[in-house]
């Protein structure tokens, strides 16, 4: 972890302290959670999308035994 110093208004500090107490965590943890919410990790989002896409592979059945071989024929019939 990287130690970072920030400056808050009195009102922000009071809110942060209150939320930390309510959640039973440190103020630093509340700030980390807020950063994760406000500034999404683009790499994590890309991995999530990729895993979601991979999850549908094989999830559907066309009912045909030769779709992979004759896909152009089937598409031609529909279009």
pLDDT digits (tens, 9 = 90+) for 36-77: 899 888 888 888 889 899 888 888 877 777 877 888 887 876
pTM greater than 0.85 (yes/no): no
Instruction: Provide the pLDDT for residue 64.
Output: 73
Burial class of residue 12 (count of CB atoms within 10 Å of its CB; 0-12, 13-18, 19+): exposed
> Three-state SS string across the chain, please?
CCCCCCCCCHHHHHHHHHHHHHHCCCHHHHHHHHHHHHCCCHHHHHHHHHHHHHHCCCCCCCCCCCHHHHHHHHHHHHC
Instruction: Name the token pair of 75.
Output: 């598409």
């Amino acid at each position: 972890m990287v130690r970072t110093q920030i400056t808050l208004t009195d009102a922000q500090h009071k809110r942060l302290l209150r939320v930390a107490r309510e959640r039973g965590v440190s103020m630093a943890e509340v700030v980390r959670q807020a950063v994760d919410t406000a500034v999404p990790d683009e790499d994590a989002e890309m991995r999530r999308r990729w895993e979601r896409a991979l999850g549908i592979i094989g999830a559907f059945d066309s009912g045909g035994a030769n779709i992979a071989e004759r896909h152009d024929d089937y598409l031609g019939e529909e279009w």
